[in-house]
Chain A
Amino acid sequence: MSDQLLVERNSMAAETAQAADAPMVKVSNLVKHFRRADGTTVNAVDDVSIEVMPGQFTVLLGPSGCGKTTLLRCVAGLEHPVGGRVEIRGRTVFDAATKVNLAPEKRGLNMIFQSYALWPHMTVAANIAYPLVCKKVKKSEHAGRVARALEMVGIPELGKQYPSQLSGGQQQRVALARALVSNSDLVLFDEPLSNVDAKVREQLRFELLSMQRELGFAALYVTHDQSEAMELAHSIAVLEKGKVAQSGGPQEIYRKPSSRYVGGFVGTLNEIDGTVRRIDPDGTAVVDTEVGELSAGSVADGVKQGDLVVVSCRPERVELNLVEPNDIANRWQVTVTASVFSGSRTEHVVTFADRDFRLWRSDSVLFETGTAAWVGVATEDLRVLPF
Chain B
Amino acid sequence: MTALPETLPAGAAPGTQPAAGRSDGSRFTLFSGISLALAIVFMLLAMYPILSVIAGLFFTDGTFNPGAVFSHVLGLPGLWQMLLNTLVIVVVSGAIAVVCGSVLAWLVVRTDARIRWLGGILPLLPFVLPALVGTMGWAMLLSPKTGLVNILIRNILSPLGVHLDQGPLDVYSYGGMIFVYTIYMIPFTFLLVSAGLENSDAQLEEQSRVSGGGVLRTLFRVTIPSVRPSLGAAMLLTVFFGFAFFAGPAVLSTTSGIDILSVRIANILSFSYPADTAGAVGLSTFMLVAVAIVWWIQTRVLRRSNYATINGRGKATEIHLGKLRWLGRLVIILYALIAVVLPFLALLWVSFRGFWSFDWDFTTLSLTQYTTVLFGDAFSSTALITSLLLALLGATVGMFVAAIIARFVRSSPGRVGRAVDILIKVGAPIPAVVLGVGVLLAFGGAPWHLGGTFGILLLAYLVHFMPQATVNADAAAAQVGPQLMEASHISGGGDGRTFLRISLPLMLPDLIAGWSLLFLWMLGELNASIILAGTSNPVLGEQMYLLYFQGYFGKLAALAIIVTIISVIVLLGANLLARRLRGGRLRPGAV
Residue contact B27 to A120, C-beta cutoff 8 Å: no
Docked complex: B547-591 residues within 8 A CB-CB of A: 584-589, 591
CB of B210 closer than 8 Å to a CB of A: no
Tally the A-B contacts, defined by beta carbons under 8 Å. 105
Chain B residues lying within 8 Å of A118, measured Cβ to Cβ, are: 487, 589
User: Which of these binds chain B: A95-103, A241-249, A252-260, A334-342?
Assistant: A95-103
User: Which of these binds chain B: A74-82, A232-240, A319-327?
Assistant: A74-82
Digitize A129-149: 1 where CB-to-B-CB distance is under 8 Å, 0 elsewhere.
Answer: 011001100000000000000
Docked complex: B1-48 residues within 8 A CB-CB of A: 18-23, 25-27, 29
Q: Which residue of the partner chain, among A77, A109, A121, contacts B505 with CB atoms under 8 Å?
A: A121
CB of B494 closer than 8 Å to a CB of A: yes
Residue contact A119 to B506, C-beta cutoff 8 Å: yes
Residue contact B18 to A131, C-beta cutoff 8 Å: no
Residue contact B585 to A131, C-beta cutoff 8 Å: no
Q: How many Å lie between the Cα of A79 and that of B489 in the bound state?
A: 12
CB of B491 closer than 8 Å to a CB of A: yes
CB of A110 closer than 8 Å to a CB of B: yes
B484 nearest in chain A by CB position: A117
Chain A residues lying within 8 Å of B591, measured Cβ to Cβ, are: 113, 115, 117
CB of A16 closer than 8 Å to a CB of B: no
Residue contact B584 to A119, C-beta cutoff 8 Å: no
Chain B residues lying within 8 Å of A76, measured Cβ to Cβ, are: 486, 490
CB of A367 closer than 8 Å to a CB of B: no
Residue contact B490 to A104, C-beta cutoff 8 Å: yes
CB of A330 closer than 8 Å to a CB of B: no
Residue contact B486 to A104, C-beta cutoff 8 Å: yes
- CB proximity of B254 to chain A, nearest CB, Å: 53
Residue contact B23 to A82, C-beta cutoff 8 Å: yes
Residue contact B490 to A103, C-beta cutoff 8 Å: no
Given the known inter-chain contacts A99-B20, A117-B591, A120-B506, please indicate yes or no for A80 contacting B489, CB distance below 8 A: no
Chain B residues lying within 8 Å of A82, measured Cβ to Cβ, are: 21, 23, 25
CB of B488 closer than 8 Å to a CB of A: yes
Residue contact A78 to B20, C-beta cutoff 8 Å: no
Q: How many Å lie between the Cα of A350 and that of B97 in the bound state?
A: 73
Residue contact B584 to A121, C-beta cutoff 8 Å: yes
Chain B residues lying within 8 Å of A117, measured Cβ to Cβ, are: 481, 483-484, 486-487, 589, 591
Chain B residues lying within 8 Å of A314, measured Cβ to Cβ, are: none
Residue contact A80 to B490, C-beta cutoff 8 Å: no
Given the known inter-chain contacts A120-B585, A120-B587, A121-B506, please indicate yes or no for A78 contacting B486, CB distance below 8 A: yes
CB of A94 closer than 8 Å to a CB of B: yes
Chain A residues lying within 8 Å of B471, measured Cβ to Cβ, are: none
- CB proximity of B544 to chain A, nearest CB, Å: 40
- CB proximity of A132 to chain B, nearest CB, Å: 9
Residue contact A110 to B588, C-beta cutoff 8 Å: no
Docked complex: A153-192 residues within 8 A CB-CB of B: 162-164, 178, 182, 188
Given the known inter-chain contacts A80-B25, A115-B591, A121-B505, please indicate yes or no for A100 contacting B494, CB distance below 8 A: no
Q: How many Å lie between the Cα of A80 and that of B18 in the bound state?
A: 13
Residue contact A162 to B584, C-beta cutoff 8 Å: yes
Chain A residues lying within 8 Å of B585, measured Cβ to Cβ, are: 120-121, 162-164
B587 nearest in chain A by CB position: A164
Chain A residues lying within 8 Å of B491, measured Cβ to Cβ, are: 105, 110, 130-131, 134, 178, 182
CB of A111 closer than 8 Å to a CB of B: yes
CB of B492 closer than 8 Å to a CB of A: yes
A163 nearest in chain B by CB position: B585
Most chain A CB within 10 A, of B25, B26, B506, is at: B25
CB of B502 closer than 8 Å to a CB of A: yes
A162 nearest in chain B by CB position: B585
Q: How many Å lie between the Cα of A101 and that of B17 in the bound state?
A: 11
- CB proximity of B25 to chain A, nearest CB, Å: 4
Q: How many Å lie between the Cα of A148 and that of B408 in the bound state?
A: 36
- CB proximity of A102 to chain B, nearest CB, Å: 9
Q: How many Å lie between the Cα of A118 and that of B27 in the bound state?
A: 25
Q: Which residue of the partner chain, among B27, B497, B506, contacts A80 with CB atoms under 8 Å?
A: B27
- CB proximity of B255 to chain A, nearest CB, Å: 54
Chain A residues lying within 8 Å of B492, measured Cβ to Cβ, are: 105, 131, 134-135, 182
B487 nearest in chain A by CB position: A117
Residue contact A134 to B497, C-beta cutoff 8 Å: yes
- CB proximity of A286 to chain B, nearest CB, Å: 51
Residue contact A164 to B29, C-beta cutoff 8 Å: no
- CB proximity of A133 to chain B, nearest CB, Å: 8
A110 nearest in chain B by CB position: B490
Q: How many Å lie between the Cα of A130 and that of B489 in the bound state?
A: 11
Q: How many Å lie between the Cα of A76 and that of B487 in the bound state?
A: 10
CB of B429 closer than 8 Å to a CB of A: no
A77 nearest in chain B by CB position: B489
CB of B493 closer than 8 Å to a CB of A: yes
Chain B residues lying within 8 Å of A182, measured Cβ to Cβ, are: 491-492
Given the known inter-chain contacts A101-B18, A120-B588, A130-B491, please indicate yes or no for A115 contacting B23, CB distance below 8 A: no
Residue contact A101 to B490, C-beta cutoff 8 Å: no
Given the known inter-chain contacts A110-B491, A111-B490, please indicate yes or no for A120 contacting B25, CB distance below 8 A: no
Q: Which residue of the partner chain, among A77, A79, A111, contacts B487 with CB atoms under 8 Å?
A: A111
Residue contact A80 to B488, C-beta cutoff 8 Å: no
- CB proximity of B583 to chain A, nearest CB, Å: 10
- CB proximity of A223 to chain B, nearest CB, Å: 17
B27 nearest in chain A by CB position: A101
Q: Which residue of the partner chain, among A78, A114, A134, contacts B493 with CB atoms under 8 Å?
A: A134
Chain B residues lying within 8 Å of A115, measured Cβ to Cβ, are: 481, 483, 591
Chain A residues lying within 8 Å of B490, measured Cβ to Cβ, are: 76, 78, 104-105, 109-111, 188
Chain A residues lying within 8 Å of B18, measured Cβ to Cβ, are: 99-101
15 A/B residue pairs, CB under 8 Å, sorted by A: A78-B489, A78-B490, A80-B20, A82-B23, A101-B21, A101-B27, A103-B27, A103-B489, A104-B486, A117-B487, A118-B487, A120-B586, A134-B492, A135-B492, A163-B585
Q: A100-B18, A115-B591, A164-B585 are in contact. List 10 more A-B contacts (CB 8 A).
A: A76-B486, A76-B490, A96-B21, A101-B27, A105-B489, A105-B494, A119-B487, A119-B502, A130-B501, A131-B491
User: What is A's interface to B at a CB cutoff of 8 Å?
Assistant: 76-80, 82, 94, 96, 99-101, 103-105, 109-111, 113-115, 117-121, 130-131, 134-135, 162-164, 178, 182, 188
